[in-house]
Chain A
């Protein structure tokens, strides 16, 4: 019996080793590398950064450059990019919340068979490749523009008249927001749905019986019980939306400066990898501070 157990434990340890090695190599190491490169100096070489470890006179030296962060803080362009990204992702999260909450409530209160179909119908658009959805919206906005029903509001792509150019930053913004809401709606919907689905309908009935109006029921019963879903949904929307650059690039015509675009530009145009890494680190810091603040404010 003991031999058998020892063999089992040996295999267990060996089996743990394989995925651990994988995740150390391809998750932990790459993430640490971003941090390390963000404090190293830029160099015109391959790779375009200087190792922070150097070996001179038999002494191991660690040189940390904080120039990237300082230049990042002093440059107004970066500040604009962060503000733009933050505002865009917050607006997306709020709009998603407003659209998804009643939907999730409605879906959770329908019969079992309808529920399944409605759920699948929300999930299907998110299964379709992201780039296809963006393309579909580009076509769709094109059609809207043709019928002129939204005249200036949505015009963002295929816009060649110079006269509209001054206007188009704000007009493109609406299109970008629309597509972002469409893309991230399922991320908000699913956590909300699973939170709302758990609320027993007895509680809501009780609130009605005790004389609550629908709005009061919502504020005093449904929303407090669903707030974990709201927090998770907000996190799921804000995290990817902060790094989003494809939608602003394609629909905003590259005129809306976002953090994702800054990272790409630093990386591929300027070949300044340390700058790209420091931009990323600051972005991650902003996201985590924001989410932690949200959690401590609203969470339990």
Chain B
């Protein structure tokens, strides 16, 4: 019973600020303390601000593109990592003399594994600094990258760290006898990948895309290092608003973002639940 009290306290700690913001976004006075009625006026005011709409659109574009590319790159990486790790994948069908050559692969693969996970092993500020220096160097070499593309590249690299680990776990759980059956029946490796492997991991692919999308929408630090003059991302705009004076319409914006995050997690939950259900059925 005392334990239950503790659990309620921890969940309260996690949720009280969030509930507070959502509640105060509906307050006419813009403040929970001076409650004078329910209204949507702050939401209306929010959608009148060109700056916020632009920032949201910009953030959305960056997140969409970087999530898509980092899922694809992460899938490729995870596939290579898993298939080089499985010594008994299709390379097994080769003659013994050939396997020596394919055993050379792991060193480059191991490096790939470490490099793809490296962004997780340092603080975000180090990544931001690293990208700032790198893009500066590229522009000195004559490859100037515009601010949006810089941000997209940085977010792809950060997102890959997550997508690779999600997709690697998913690919490892694929029953390899199914792939082998397809290979034995004469399908080429890329056909096996498209028609057999991809449908099996499609849910994990969706989850990793959502993850990369959220990470891109979440990021303040890298964006603050890389943003050029012009449009800023939504989190960065909120950060500057928080620093130089908060207006109540931020409550409304925060509530919308909270709603988005919760709906995404519900989607992920349903997907994972169905996945588990299907495993049980099988």
Contacts and interface: CB of A to CB of B under 8 A. Distances in A.
B194 interface: no
B6 A34 contact: no
Contact of B242 (A5, A131, A264, A276): A131
A134 to B, nearest CB: 7
Interface in A1-49: 2, 5, 8-9, 11-12, 15-16, 18-20, 22-31, 33-34, 37, 47
B112 A143 contact: no
A53 to B, nearest CB: 13
B220 A246 contact: yes
B51 to A, nearest CB: 16
B228 interface: no
A2 B115 contact: no
A15 B125 contact: no
A19 B114 CA distance: 12
A69 B19 CA distance: 47
Given A124-B262, A240-B124, A277 B133 contact: yes
Given A102-B3, A138-B242, A242 B17 contact: no
Interface stretch (B40-48, B90-98, B171-179): B90-98
B146 interface: no
B129 A277 contact: yes
Contacts of A5: 93-94, 98
B231 interface: no
Instruction: Provide the main secondary structure of the chain A interface.
Output: helix
Interface string A107-140: 0000000001000111111011111111111111
A237 to B, nearest CB: 11
A228 interface: no
Given A27-B118, A134-B242, A34 B220 contact: no
Interface string B122-164: 1111110111111011001000000000000110110010000
Most chain B CB neighbours (cut-off 10 Å) among A27, A34, A124, A182: A27
Given A15-B76, A127-B214, 13 more contacts: A2-B98, A9-B101, A16-B80, A20-B112, A27-B119, A30-B134, A99-B13, A121-B11, A129-B217, A131-B239, A240-B124, A277-B133, A280-B125
Interface of B: 3, 6-7, 10-11, 13-18, 20-21, 24, 32-33, 73, 76-77, 80, 83, 90, 93-95, 98, 101-102, 105, 108-109, 111-112, 115-116, 118-119, 121-127, 129-134, 136-137, 140, 153-154, 156-157, 160, 189-190, 214, 217-218, 220-221, 225, 235, 238-239, 242-243, 246, 250-251, 254, 257-258, 261-262, 264-265, 269, 273
